[in-house]
Amino acid sequence: MKIDCTIDGKTLTLSLNSDKPLSLILRENTGDDAVVNHCNGAMCGLCTVLVDGKAMLSCMVPAFEIRGKTVTTFDSFRKTKNMKDIEKAYESVGSFPCQDCYASRSLIFESLIDEGITDPEEILKELSIIKCPCMDPEDEINIVLKGIEARRKRNVRRTQFA
């Protein structure tokens, strides 16, 4: 089956099996070795990517679900202004994820911040896909809230000078 999608800003037409997981598509068709794929089944959460801005486990997304979608990996996302908002939130709270889950947590934080999610239960539910215990749940909630605040401030400044 042919699938048109955008991965890290590159528009691609891929010929592949419709149920092939996105994690393998990223490795085989884009050469992206940064996407971790340890478990092949929602066991660790370390293969998180953004699909149209929503955090998803790439090992659980079949190819047919990315048709016409935009996929963003951490490698691409980390160069954006939105990542700077998350880094400010990490610094403000004084808590950082470990090296193993830094990329995945940052993408989930981005998804939550972008959607403006402030409900602590919803924040923790979304972050529960990552099985790494390196962060305190209260810190995770505060990082999202600080990230939303940083994003609002940046957007207000941008509109004031536009």
**What is the distance between the alpha carbons of residues 61 and 118, in angstroms, rounded to a whole number?**
26
Query: Within the chain, where are the H helices?
Result: 22-30, 74-77, 81-93, 102-115, 120-127, 137-160
pLDDT of residue 158: 63
pLDDT of residue 93: 98
| Upper half-sphere CA count for residue 156 (Cβ side, 13 Å) | 6
pLDDT higher than threshold 80 for residue 43: no
pLDDT higher than threshold 80 for residue 159: no
The mean pLDDT value for 128-151 works out to 96
pLDDT higher than threshold 90 for residue 123: yes
pLDDT higher than threshold 80 for residue 34: no
Q: Give pairs for 13-16: CB < 8 Å, separation 24+.
A: 14/63, 16/63
Name residue, tokens 């998180």: 48
Q: Provide the b/e sequence for 115-124 (b: ≥16 CB within 10 Å).
A: eebeeeeebe
Name residue, tokens 């149920």: 19
pLDDT higher than threshold 90 for residue 32: no
Question: Which is it for strands 2-7 and 54-57: parallel, antiparallel or unpaired?
Answer: unpaired
The mean pLDDT value for 112-125 works out to 97
Edge to edge, what strands does the sheet with 2-7 contain?
A: 10-15, 2-7, 70-72, 48-51, 54-57
Residues comprising the chain, all counted: 162
- pLDDT tens, 45-96? 889 999 999 999 999 999 999 999 999 999 999 999 999 999 999 999 999 9
pLDDT of residue 27: 85
CATH superfamily of 2-76: Beta-grasp domain (3.10.20.30)
Percentage of residues in the chain having pLDDT higher than 70: 88
